[in-house]
Amino acid sequence: MFDQDTLPAALRARHDTKAGVWGMIRVIEGKLRLTYLDPPSEVTLTPDRPGLILPQQPHFVTPVGAMKMQVDFYDQPPSG
């Protein structure tokens, strides 16, 4: 689990998941901005709105104030 202070620089910069790996970003408290680079789009994640990362999808995250989040990884599309 990360907060606005412990969120690693690597997650704040462009990165992607490996082939065959899906990521699910879950916000526990607060808000987190998820920016997809291909195709370009942006979404604000909240405890009620997790963010799905597809295999090899370039993206980065930005805290929006105080927040807590975690990332879960899957070897198949997660159900939610």
> Would you say residue 80 lies in a domain?
no
> Would you say residue 79 lies in a domain?
no
Q: What is the pLDDT of residues 37-72, one digit of tens each?
A: 988 999 999 999 999 999 999 999 999 999 999 999
- Quote the pLDDT of residue 30: 98
> Would you say residue 69 lies in a domain?
yes
Domain that holds residue 50: 2-74
Closest CA to 7 of 50, 69, 59, 56: 69
- Provide the whole-model pTM: 0.92
> Would you say residue 39 lies in a domain?
yes
**What one-letter code names the amino acid at 63?**
P
Total domains, the chain: 1
- Alpha-carbon separation of residue 27 from 38, 39, 63, 74 (angstroms): 22, 22, 10, 17
CATH number for 51:
2.60.120.10
> Would you say residue 48 lies in a domain?
yes
- Quote the pLDDT of residue 35: 98
Q: What is the pLDDT of residues 5-27, one digit of tens each?
A: 999 999 999 999 999 999 999 99
Q: Is residue 80 pLDDT above 80, yes or no?
A: no
> Would you say residue 10 lies in a domain?
yes
- Quote the pLDDT of residue 39: 86
Task: Quickly list DSSP for 11-75.
Answer: HHSSB-PPTT-EEEEEEEEEEEEEEEETTEEEEEEBTTB-EEE-TT--EEEEEEEEEEEEEEEES
